[in-house]
Structure 1
Amino acid sequence: MSIAWLRERMEQWADHPAIVWNDHPFLYRDLLARLQMWHQALDRHDVGTGQVVTIEGDYSPNAVSLLLALIERNTIVVPLTRSVAAQREEFLDIAEVQVVVSFDDDDRWRIERRARPVTNPLTCQLIERGHPGLVLFSSGSTGKSKAALHDFIPLLEKFQVPRHRRVTLTFLLLDHIGGINTLFYTLANGGTVVAVPSRDPDVVCRAIETHRAQTLPTSPTFLNLLLISEAYKRYDLSSLELITYGTEVMPESTLQRIHALFPNVQLLQTYGLSELGILRSKSRDSSSLWVKIGGEGFETKIVDGVLWIRARSAMLGYLNAPSPFDEEGWMNTQDVVEVDGEYIRILGRRSEIINVGGQKVYPAEVESVLLQMPNVKDVAVTGESNPITGQIVTARFNLFEPEDPNEFKRRVRAFCRERLAPYKIPVKIIITDDKQHSARFKKMRRSSP
């Protein structure tokens, strides 16, 4: 059994809460009972080793226990959430899904079979090994979504090392590498997963207060929304001990404001990719963007200012794209970094860097300045092609209150002149009501060629 060690631990903590769902706690013994129920149900529906199965749901007791049962049965699991509803059929076809188990808001489920043979060589290779698998789709923020196929065994290996036991809010979705990491870290250490029905700041803060959550794994975009909403003023968040942030570059101004609001909470930058898993990390301190990453099973190197990683838990490959690994197993993350001893500072994706007359502009740096302006709710900075300078800096703003566009543009440039080099100042300024982030609470940028 591929996760016998996890089942043994869960049995030790039988009377402790494993999941809080719809504000109701479910004990580890409840999960184990549902796990047995699922094995019986999967037998009835002839779902076994080597089949490709989608879980459509969130962190409900039935969905989590099904995930565990599917791993024990050595199936290939494809978690999907409502955030990718528009791409559902495309994703099912790419992964060659044969069985879909869907959950409704009351945790009721139904099974749908699909007449689909498995032909992808990578999936066939994993099936021959007799190992459980995991397919994760990228957010598509830099282009078409890619399907990463993992062998679940090495991906779960690191969780066998005992670590801190915490009550953790599940902010990152179940179809995200960060969500999978949160779930298994928590279950492997006898902690409690607190599920939330939405990622609205008030909903999240209420759940922290009600269930005394100690850890909030989230994104810089959500932390900015938390600041904007001022939901932190309406709830008792004193139980929080740790806020982890990743998935995108953190604007320094956002980090400093969060640190000032929560001086007794440890702020930890995390780093991971769907292709590699989540690395262990250590921020220099809670107010610093300098971070040390690595840990057992991971190797890092910097080549021409870009981070490369080799991981024991690396995916087998993409189901719908060429492999990103070189002959020695290293992956170019495309993240440009600065180095200070053992620490790095992530500046941004190479594809998002704006080139203004040969000078590099990092969107997160400009956004960090613009977010300090009065009446600015959110901003996304991108590059736009220009026949003279190659590119110009473009900024799309969400405002709290309507403002005369011409006056606002003058205000932006005056504010920036004191804080940014001239080539970093936005040339094109757009006011929009459109959201600047995806369903995964990651900043959406689209640079023009």
Structure 2
Amino acid sequence: MPLTWLLDRFRAHADDDAIVWRDEITRYGELLERVENATAFLQSQGVRSGQVVMLDADFSPNAIALLLAAMQNRNIIVPVASHVTADRDKYARLAEVSHRLSVHVDDSFGCIAEPGVEPTHEMFRQLNAAGSPGLILFSSGSTGEPKGAVHSLDFLLNKFKVSRHTQRMITFLLFDHIGGFNTMMYTLANHGCVITLESRDAATVCRAVEKYRAEVLPASPTFLNLLLVSGEYAKHDLSSLKIINYATEVMPAATLERLNAAFPGVTFRQSYGMTELGIMRTQSRGNDSTWIRVGGEDYQTRVVDSILHIKAKSSMLGYLNAPSPFDAEGWFNTQDEVEVDGEWLKFKGRKSDIINVGGEKVYPAEVETVILEVDNIADATVTKEAHPMLGHIVVADVTLHAEESLPSVIKRIRQHCFSKLPPYKIPVKIRLSDASARVSERFKKQRNEPR
């Protein structure tokens, strides 16, 4: 069976904490029972091996149990985070979903069957022929049609069979995110504790770290900056934290410097992964450095015209509703532009985020880092605005620590930028805004959305 190795580990650590949810602790012995109950529920609903099921949930004990039961049943699973805005009908239609599973607010199971729907897509036939469960992760679709990345769970789960460190982890990244899936599976595979969140604001995260002695916090740079701005980290005992992993977007050097000052003794690690490739092993050059090594035994990397390309054993099979992005040799163009220093890489930004000013390239994260060096600036989000002659101009939305007049802010920002940046990178427009105004529900900066 696909998860025999994992369930055996649960049995060996039956009395260890497995999940914290709403201030209640589920131990591994109880989680095993929940997986058995979830398996019985799937059988009662007529869910057969090989069918595609949608799971609308978050990281509750029964949601995790139902996900594991569906894996064990060799289903192809479409997770959707329960509080995320998504076109579930479109996902179900594209993925040929036969059963819409859900876990209600009281952690009870729900199911709506779609009679007569069976998997016909070639990749589904491929998974079923191999007897492998599958995972479909949809992109948000913020810049176009959402694409469904189809994974073989046999490939994705293989790396978790190697035992590693036991850790108490916060599940900050979402239930339907490759990073959230990775956090959950790593923790369970190493009999750690999955510490769930009722909401993902700074105060709730800090309370969870303090109360349940979390050791690892995976988060986005945007959230970590909001954590600094909120001041909540200083109101709680976060001494249990050993590691803060950051990923999903470029980390401004100025923010990383502030984080090191706020969390002395904590190791900061830059992670890297993509929906299409899975999460890779990385090594940071230093605690205060944004240079990393990317790879591991299952990954190959190369840089072509400053763009990172990756070949991975855990790559998706393909997109459900789009052409394959892999070249003839299996390389994937990440669209991430990087600087190279021997084996070390420094991420500058996605090609889609680059601002073209009169033919010159501007990386938002570079400008944000310079602005964050200015006194009284708590946060900065750099975007673009159309210009009839230049193509685009650079626009900056900034948040202040303390009240200050806009003309004074503009003057100080521009003076500092002129000392650090060429003229075409300096913001033409500077506006005051709330730090959370351009943050998506997945805690990433929104650069292409209207203000």
TM score, norm. by length of structure 1: 0.95
- What does residue 268 of structure 1 align with? 269
**Distance in 1 separating the partners of 2:226 and 2:267:** 19
- What does residue 417 of structure 2 align with? 416
Deviations 1:70-108 (A, max 9, x none): 111100011101343342222222222111121222212
Higher mean alpha-carbon deviation, 364-373 vs 269-278, is at: 364-373
Task: Answer yes or no: is the 8 Å Cα contact 1:249–1:364 preserved in 2.
Answer: yes
**Distance in 2 separating the partners of 1:365 and 1:303:** 21
Q: Decide whether aligned partners of structure 1 residues 141 and 243 sit closer, same or farther in structure 2, where only a CA change above 3 A counts.
A: farther
- What does residue 57 of structure 1 align with? 57
Deviations 1:135-158 (A, max 9, x none): 111233543321111011000101
Aligned residue identity for 2:207: R
Task: Answer yes or no: is the 8 Å Cα contact 2:374–2:412 preserved in 1.
Answer: no
Aligned residue identity for 1:443: K
Deviations 1:385-408 (A, max 9, x none): 334333321223345667655554
**Distance in 1 separating the partners of 2:376 and 2:180:** 33
Alignment of 1:126-205 (within 5 A): 126-205=127-206
Backbone CA RMSD of aligned residues: 1.8
Identity of aligned residues (%): 50
Gaps of 5+ in 2: none
- What does residue 441 of structure 2 align with? 439
**Distance in 2 separating the partners of 1:285 and 1:406:** 38
Aligned residue identity for 2:40: Q
**Distance in 2 separating the partners of 1:373 and 1:109:** 51
Higher mean alpha-carbon deviation, 315-324 vs 124-133, is at: 124-133
Per-residue deviation at 1:443? 1.0
Higher mean alpha-carbon deviation, 38-47 vs 201-210, is at: 38-47
- What does residue 281 of structure 1 align with? 282
- What does residue 426 of structure 1 align with? 427
Residue aligned with 2:336, SS: strand
- What does residue 10 of structure 2 align with? 10
Task: Answer yes or no: is the 8 Å Cα contact 2:291–2:346 preserved in 1.
Answer: yes
**Distance in 2 separating the partners of 1:402 and 1:261:** 22
**Distance in 2 separating the partners of 1:117 and 1:404:** 62
**Distance in 2 separating the partners of 1:215 and 1:358:** 43
Q: Decide whether aligned partners of structure 1 residues 377 and 98 sit closer, same or farther in structure 2, where only a CA change above 3 A counts.
A: farther
Alignment of 1:379-390 (within 5 A): 379-390=380-391
**Distance in 2 separating the partners of 1:151 and 1:86:** 23
**Distance in 1 separating the partners of 2:9 and 2:440:** 36
Higher mean alpha-carbon deviation, 89-98 vs 159-168, is at: 89-98
**Distance in 2 separating the partners of 1:304 and 1:259:** 33
- What does residue 42 of structure 2 align with? 42
- What does residue 327 of structure 2 align with? 326
Residue aligned with 1:98, SS: strand
Q: Decide whether aligned partners of structure 1 residues 400 and 35 sit closer, same or farther in structure 2, where only a CA change above 3 A counts.
A: same
Per-residue deviation at 1:374? 4.5
Matched, 1:109 2:72: no
Matched, 1:235 2:236: yes
Per-residue deviation at 1:211? 0.5
Q: Decide whether aligned partners of structure 1 residues 150 and 399 sit closer, same or farther in structure 2, where only a CA change above 3 A counts.
A: same
Task: Answer yes or no: is the 8 Å Cα contact 1:139–1:145 preserved in 2.
Answer: yes
Q: Decide whether aligned partners of structure 1 residues 375 and 142 sit closer, same or farther in structure 2, where only a CA change above 3 A counts.
A: farther
- What does residue 81 of structure 1 align with? 81
Per-residue deviation at 1:57? 1.1
Per-residue deviation at 1:413? 1.9
Per-residue deviation at 1:432? 4.2
Alignment of 1:250-399 (within 5 A): 250-399=251-400
**Distance in 2 separating the partners of 1:289 and 1:144:** 32
Aligned residue identity for 2:2: S
Residue aligned with 1:216, SS: strand
Q: Decide whether aligned partners of structure 1 residues 83 and 140 sit closer, same or farther in structure 2, where only a CA change above 3 A counts.
A: farther
**Distance in 1 separating the partners of 2:76 and 2:368:** 40
Per-residue deviation at 1:329? 0.8
Aligned residue identity for 1:396: D
Task: Answer yes or no: is the 8 Å Cα contact 2:307–2:335 preserved in 1.
Answer: yes
Task: Answer yes or no: is the 8 Å Cα contact 2:86–2:140 preserved in 1.
Answer: no
Deviations 1:348-383 (A, max 9, x none): 011211222333211001111223444544332123
Residue aligned with 1:29, SS: helix
**Distance in 1 separating the partners of 2:424 and 2:386:** 14
Task: Answer yes or no: is the 8 Å Cα contact 1:83–1:439 preserved in 2.
Answer: no
**Distance in 2 separating the partners of 1:148 and 1:397:** 35
**Distance in 2 separating the partners of 1:372 and 1:320:** 44
Aligned residue identity for 2:253: E
- What does residue 23 of structure 2 align with? 23
The number of residues matched between the two structures is 448
Aligned residue identity for 1:207: A
**Distance in 1 separating the partners of 2:82 and 2:408:** 40
Residue aligned with 1:259, SS: helix
Q: Decide whether aligned partners of structure 1 residues 290 and 316 sit closer, same or farther in structure 2, where only a CA change above 3 A counts.
A: same
- What does residue 215 of structure 1 align with? 216
Deviations 1:4-46 (A, max 9, x none): 1111111111110111111111100011011111121211111
Residue aligned with 1:383, SS: strand
